[in-house]
Each structure stands twice: as C-alpha cells, then as structure tokens.
Amino acid sequence: MDTPHDPLAGLRPAADHRDPRASALLRPFSPGTPLQDRPVLLGLPYDGGIPSRPGARFGPKALREALGSYGSFDGQRELGEVVDMGDLTLAAMNGAVTHARIEEASRNLFAAGARPIFIGGDHGLTGSLIRGLAAARPGLRLALVTIDAHLDVREYDNEATLSSGTPFRRALETPILTGARTAMIGIRYLANSRYYLSWAREQGVHLYTVDDVAERGAVAVAREALSRIMKDADALYLSVDIDAADAAVAPGVSAVSVGGLSSREMIDVVRTVSAEPRLLGADLMELSPPHDENARTAKLTARLLLEVLSVRPS
C-alpha cells in the first residue's frame, strides 16, 4: 500500500532546539515511572460545584496549551521535567463520586512520594485533595497558603452538596491542618460575608486582604504568612484560585471581579511561597477558558505553574 502523501510536508515549522518551549517539560506517565520526590501534574476537568459560570472543566487543557507561550529557561537554569498524568476521568453529573475519586487519586500520589500539582477545575476539589493527603500522611502537621478572593469555608450538608465555596472548611476538618497553620492571601471585602469572616478568625486563620498586599507588598505579605504558619509545620500546601487576580488580567475565571491582585503580585506570592523547602503539593484552580480573552488567564495560570517549578529542585 502506498504511503499517504502529506501535502504540508516540509511546510510546518520545526522545533528550535536553541529555544525550547515549556510545553516540552511535560513527560507522559507510563507504568514504572518513578514518582518519589518528582513534580507530577494531574488535570481535574470538573466544574459541577461552581454555582456561577461553568467552563472550568476545560482549564487543564487550556493550561497545557498555554505552556507553549513560555520558554523553559528561568534565567538561571533549565526547568526539570514534569510527569504528566493526564486528566482524571470524573463523573460530570455526580459530585459525591467525583470527590471520592479525587480523594483517592490524591491519597495514591502522596503515598507514592510524588509532589503533585493539580490543575482544574472546580476549587471545591481542593478539600478532597487535602483529605487525600491526610489519608496518606495521617501524622502530618500541614500548613496551608491559599491565594484567593474568597474564604471558601462555607457550610455543607453532605458530599453531594460540596461546592467551590467549601474546600477550606473541609480541609480544616482534617486532623492534619489547623487554622493557626493556615494563611489566606488576596481576600476581598464585598466578596465574603461577616459570618464566614468571623468563623475564619475564630479558627485562628491568618487573613491578608488585597489592601494588605497593596500597602505592604506581595513578597513581604507572603514571607510574614510563612513565618506564622510554618513554625511547627512539617509540610506546606499551596492552593491558588485564579479569581484572586483582577478581572483586567484574568477575565477567564469562574467568579470574575474587579479589585483583585495584579499579575505581578500573583507571581510574587506564588514564587515566594513555592520557595519554601517543605512545599509538597499545590493546585491551580478555576481557570475557565470559555470566558478567557486571548488566553490571557490561561497564560497567567501557566506562568504560575512555571513559578512553582522554577524554585523546586531540578
């Protein structure tokens, strides 16, 4: 049989080995791939718990595509490879089943010694990610930094009623985390109720508003937060809701609003927190491509992923 002729043979641009793209850092997982102490990427294409604008289920795909906008040299070294586990198969219409699968996947990755970065997706899934970590490492004293406009500590009735507003209520219900080891950066007024602000303060959570960041600087706020929560912690987890960024730089999120962090402030906080040697996992959530203009939000999210990777051991 004749080999089909490619009418575009020789017309496609060849990859330039002198300018490698960050997308080339992703290496598909295959059985037998060692995971111990390695960065691992896992997509969570689910947005069933988002009450506002659906679309975050397409976030993992958009983030991977946006990596091609960046190089792999961070100014000092070439970034190391990332094991890409692909996207988890999730039950789009069954929140309880989805959260159970997320918790199991998280438990398995942390038990294998991986340092996962989860990309979503519904931020409500973070509660199940931390529950999976608690199941894998029950004696852990975990510290948590969230970058988010919202507290996300809403009450819920059962697993079927979980939403993007419940993850940190669920995280604080685990035995590995306390309010004193939790810091929330980027909190906006007129986006959170008096009731939940009071509840978070009662738990001892360290709250930093967008005004704190504007007045004191992103790096200074992040360093203070770490100094407070890492005193007796064994490990650190970072959770980023892209809606912490202002609508001007991140229109493609589930809960878009004005008055948020600038892209530079987002980068500075993520870089500062990720430089903590005890960081063992992170997530980047709520990128919503159907609402993204010129992939601006996807590119910001991809940049934040690269910031996490740039300060980790090669």
User: Quick one: pLDDT at residue 313?
Assistant: 52
**Within the chain, which residues score under 70 in pLDDT?**
1-4, 12, 312-314
Is 16 annotated as a binding-site member?
no
Produce one character per residue of 43-59: b if its CB has 16 or more CB atoms within 10 Å, e if not: bbbbbbbbeebebbbbb
User: Quick one: pLDDT at residue 314?
Assistant: 47
For domain 35-310, the CATH class is: alpha beta
Is 206 annotated as a binding-site member?
no
Distance of CA 192 to the CA centre of its chain: 21
Residue 83 tokens read as 């094991």
What is the pTM for the complete model shown?
Answer: 0.94
Residues contacting 215, CB < 8 A, separation 6+: none
Are the C-beta atoms of 114 and 35 separated by less than 8 Å? yes
User: Quick one: pLDDT at residue 193?
Assistant: 96
DSSP 3-state of 165: coil
Residue 65 tokens read as 């595509």
- CA distance linking residue 208 with residue 236, whole number of Å: 18
Are the C-beta atoms of 148 and 84 separated by less than 8 Å? no
Is 243 annotated as a binding-site member?
yes
Burial class (CB in 10 A: 0-12, 13-18, 19+), 189: exposed
Q: Which H helix or E strand runs over 168?
A: helix 167-172
**pLDDT (tens digit per residue) in 110-137:** 999 999 999 999 999 999 999 999 999 9
Express as a percent the part of the chain with pLDDT over 90: 86
User: Quick one: pLDDT at residue 182?
Assistant: 98
Are the C-beta atoms of 243 and 150 separated by less than 8 Å? yes
Is 122 annotated as a binding-site member?
no
User: Quick one: pLDDT at residue 312?
Assistant: 67
Is 19 annotated as a binding-site member?
no
- CA distance linking residue 185 with residue 197, whole number of Å: 13
User: Quick one: pLDDT at residue 2?
Assistant: 56
How many CB atoms are closer than 10 A to CB 194? 7
- CA distance linking residue 307 with residue 303, whole number of Å: 6
Domain ranges of the chain: 35-310
- Alpha-carbon Rg for the chain, nearest whole angstrom, is 19
Residues contacting 136, CB < 8 A, separation 6+: 106, 107, 108, 110, 111
